[in-house]
Amino acid sequence: SEQMAKKFVLVRKIDAVETLGCVSVFCSDKTGTLTKGEMTVQDLVVPMPGGPGEGLQVFNREAGTQTFAAKHRETLADIAL
């Protein structure tokens, strides 16, 4: 709460802030709001198999099909588990 006070954060619903502090993944649309209640992954960034110190892997959806490339399906399936 001290850190929030230093940044002059205003909170209307403290329950929302407490819940947000417990998440490990956060998704938002380009405006930073959750408007429709559903989202689709556009890009996925994950640590390399050796850990974050080894770098990051970036997976982008293909523009024409809006799906991830077939060559990444096995890797993405492993990540989802």
CA dist., res. 39 & res. 33, Å (int): 11
Q: Which residues contact 65 (CB under 8 A, 6 or more apart)?
A: none
CA dist., res. 26 & res. 16, Å (int): 13
29 catalytically annotated: yes
Catalytic residue among 15, 29, 43, 78: 29
Would you name the residues annotated as active-site residues? 29
